[in-house]
Structure 1
C-alpha cells in the first residue's frame, strides 16, 4: 500500500502541495548565498496563491520575476554599478531556474527561459572579480559536457585539490554555485561543477540522456582535471546531491582515481523509487513533474524508462569503494526514505565511512537539507577538505 502524502508543514507557502512547497524551499535555501531575496520570493508566492498545481502559472510568475531582476541588473550595468549588477544577475539565475523546472514539454519557450538562466549566471561570473570562474567543456564520448570550474589556486602552478560537483535528477551546474561552492574555495578546494548526462544543458541542448554507468562522466571529468596545472591529480574527490547520491557513489566505486566521495542524499535502488511513484500515479512526493523521467532518460514511455532504471542500483557496486565516504541524509526526507541511507552505508566497502543523519530537532531534515543548508554545508565541506588534505591559501 502506498503511504499517504504528508503535508509540507515545514514550508509556509503551499503546505498542501509537496512539489510546490519543496521548490519554494529550493529558492529560499539560496538566499544566504545571494541566490534569491525573501521579498521577491514572497511576491511570486502571493501571485501564485490560490493556483496550486497550475504549472503554467508557476512558469509565468517565476519567469516574470527573472525578467524583472535581470532588468535591474542591466540598468545597474548601464550606470556602471558592477556590484549591484552582479547581485541582480545571480538572483535572476535562481528565478529562471525555478520557472523552467515544471515546464513540460521542453519547448522553445521553456528552453529560452533556461537559456536566460545560463546567460544570467555567465554574466554574473564575468562581473565577479573575486574568483576565476571559467565556463569549460569536458570531452565526453562524441560530444562534450558543459561545466563551470572555479579555482582555489593562487597561481596557475599552485596545485590544489579539486572536487567534481554534480547535482541530481533535476538540478544543474549553476544552482550548485549556491550550494557551498564559495565555501569550498575558501577551504582551498577547487570546484568543477558539471552538467552530467541527463542534467542541465547536457540534456536540454546536447541530447545527452541519463545513464546508469555514471563513471563514464566521472572518468571524463578526472581526465580533464588531471590536465590542469593548478589541480593536484592525487587529491580529486566527487560530490553530488539527490540522485547524485547515486552518481557519486557509483563513480567512486568504479573509478579508483577519486580519493573521497560525498553522497549528499542516499540513493539505493532508484528503480524501486520510480516504480512506486508510477504505481501511485505520481501521488507520492516528487521534486518535479513525472514527465521529467521519460524526458531525461531519452525514452518514449514509463515502461521503457523503468527498464533503463534497472541499472540504477548500488548493492553490487558500492562494496568495491575504498576511498573515504561521507553519506548525509535527512531524517524526514520525504522523497527517499532514511532506511535507504542505512542500506547504502552498510554496503559501502570503504574502511573510512561516515553516516550523518540530520534530525528534525536540529533541522536540515528534509531532502538534501534544503530546509537548513547553513548547518549541513559546512559539515560536508569540512569533511571533504579534510579528506583531500586541503588548506586555504
Structure 2
C-alpha cells in the first residue's frame, strides 16, 4: 500500500504515489545544476506510466537511462569534448542514484548500479576544469568516511571558511553537488561533502550504520578540516537536509567548533516519526521504501530499528547550541510536520537563530524545498556566507 499525495500546490507526476512523485520532483529540481534533462526524465516517466508502485520497473528504467547517458559521455570524451562529457556523466550519475534508491534488498544489481553512480560522478569531476574536486577519506573510529572537498580559497595560501555538508536518510554526498555547492563556492565558502554514518558509501560498502550521537562524525570532519592550510579553523559551519536536520543540529549542539548550523528541514523526534510510519504499515508519505530503515540502522527488524532511534530526539540536546542557527522548513512538508520545526526552533539555545518557513504561495513549501530550490538555495547560502564571514571567491 502506498501513500497518495495530500492536496498541495506542487507538480505530482504520479498523484497516487507520493514516493514516486517526490523523487521525480527531486530529479526535476536538479536540472538547473546539471543533474538532469527534462526530456530524459520525461521519457523515463512515460515508460513508468501504468506501472506505478512497481519498484523493479522503476529500477530498470532509471538505470537504462543512466546507461544511455553514460554512452553519450563516453562518446563525447572519445571526441575530446570534455565539457559535453562532463555534463553527460553528471546526469548519468544522478539517474543511477534515482534507480538504486528504491532497490531492496541491496543486492549485486543495486550495488553495481551504485558503483556506476560513483564512477560517473568521479569522471565528471575529473573533467571539470572549473574546480579541483578532491576525493578524500575522513578518519572515523577504526574506519573512515568517504567525502569530497572543494576549496573556495582564492590562492593556495589563502584560508576560506568551510561548510561540512551532509545529506539525509536516503541521500548521499554526490547529491549535494546539485543542491547548491557551486553557489557556495561562488560566495567564497569551501565545501566538504560527506557520506556520514548510515548514508551513501558509508553504509553500502563499509557497513557504518546510523547512530544517534552524530557529533562523532561531525567532530571527525572538523578534526580533518583543521589540518588543511586552505581552511580557516575559526569559520567552520555544518549543513544537512531532511534527516540531516537532525545530523546538523545534533553536531552543532555538541561540537562548539561549528560556528554556524543550517538544519535544512526540521527533525524533532525521529523515533515518533517512524513509530507512526510503522504503525500505518508504511502507508504514509515516505521518500524511500520502509525497508530502508532496517537496512540503514544495521538491524534485523523494525523493532530493533526503533530502539536505535530512541536517541534521535533533540529536546535535551539543542538547548546547548551556541553558534548561529538557521532552520528551514516547508509549510506543507508532507514528511515532517511544520509543528516540529517550531518545537525545534523554540528549544534551540542559540542567541542568533532564524526560522524560515517557505509557503505554498511563494513556492518551496514541500520537503526541503524540492518544489522550488531556486529560491531556497540562495537564501540558505547567503545566510551561511554572512555568518561565516565569507567574501566572494
TM-score by length of 2: 0.98
**Contact 1:145-1:195 within 8 A present in 2 as well:** yes
Deviation at 1:5?
5.7
Aligned to 1:67: 67
Contact 1:168–1:242, Cα closer than 8 Å, also in 2: yes
* 2:5 counterpart of 1:14: no
Correspondences of 1:212-223 after superposition (within 5 Å): 212-223=212-223
Q: Give the Cα separation in 1 of the matches to 2:380 and 2:325.
A: 11
Alignment: residue pair count: 391
Instruction: Give the CA deviation at 1:220.
Output: 0.2
Task: Classify 1:284/1:70 alpha carbon distance in 2 versus 1 (closer, same or farther; 3 Å).
Answer: same
Q: Give yes or no for contact 2:259–2:323 (8 Å, CA) kept in 1.
A: yes
How far 1:13 moved relative to its partner? 1.1
1:151 shift after superposition: 0.6
Contact 2:163 2:191 in 1 (8 A): yes
Tell me which residue corresponds to 1:295: 295
Cross-structure match for 1:378:
378
Cross-structure match for 1:103: 103
In structure 1, the residue matched to 2:112 is 112
Task: State the SS of the aligned residue for 2:178.
Answer: helix
Task: Kindly state the Cα deviation for residue 204 of structure 1 after the two structures are TM-superposed.
Answer: 0.2
User: Within 5 Å, which residues of 2 pair with 1:348-363?
Assistant: 348-363=348-363
Deviates more, 1:260-269 or 1:152-161: 152-161
Alpha-carbon separation, structure 2, partners of 1:152 and 1:125: 16
| 1:186 corresponds to | 186
Query: Structure 2: which 5+ residue stretches go unaligned?
Result: none
**Are the counterparts in 2 of residues 8 and 21 from structure 1 also a CA contact under 8 Å?**
no
Q: Which runs of 5+ in 1 are unaligned?
A: none
CA contact (8 A) 2:172 2:199 kept: yes
Given that residues 7 and 15 in structure 1 are in contact (C-alpha distance below 8 angstroms), is that contact kept between their aligned partners in structure 2? no
Shift of 1:87: 0.4
Is 2:123 the counterpart of 1:123? yes
Give the aligned partner of residue 169 of structure 1. Answer: 169
Give the C-alpha shift of residue 321 in structure 1: 0.2
Post-superposition offset of 1:7: 5.8
SS where residue 144 of structure 1 aligns? strand
Alignment of 1:178-257 (within 5 A): 178-257=178-257
| Cα distance in 1 between the residues matched to 2:123 and 2:4 | 44
Per-residue Cα deviation, 1:206-248 (whole angstroms, up to 9, x for no partner): 0000000000000000000000000000000000000000000
Would you say the 8 A contact 1:261–1:325 is kept in 2?
yes
Deviation at 1:155, TM superposition (A): 2.4
Q: Deviations over 1:275-307 (max 9, x none)?
A: 000000000100000000000000000000001
Post-superposition Cα deviations, 1:308-351, rounded to whole Å, max 9, x if no partner, equal 10000000000000100000000000000000000000000000
Distance 1:222 1:205, change over 3 A: same
Distance (whole Å) between structure 1 residues aligned to residue 84 and residue 5 of structure 2: 42
Alignment of 1:20-31 (within 5 A): 20-31=20-31
CA distance in structure 1 between the partners assigned to 2:63 and 2:387 by the alignment: 41
Shift of 1:157: 1.6
Conserved? CA contact 1:8–1:16, under 8 Å: no
In 2, the alpha carbon distance for the partners of 1:170 and 1:350 equals: 28
Mapped to 1, the partners of 2:21 and 2:5 lie a distance apart of 13
- 1:78 aligned to 2:81? no
Q: What is the DSSP-based 3-state SS (H/G/I as helix, E as strand, rest coil) of the residue aligned with 1:259?
A: strand
CA distance in 1, matches of 2:15, 2:192: 35
8 Å CA contact 2:8–2:332 kept in 1: the answer is no
How far apart are 1:6 and its partner, in Å?
1.9
Q: What is aligned with 1:155?
A: 155
Change (3 A) 1:7 1:359: closer
Provide the aligned C-alpha RMSD in A. 1.0
Cα distance in 2 for residues equivalent to 1:8 and 1:315: 30
- Distance, in Å, in 1 between the alignment partners of 2:122 and 2:352 is 38
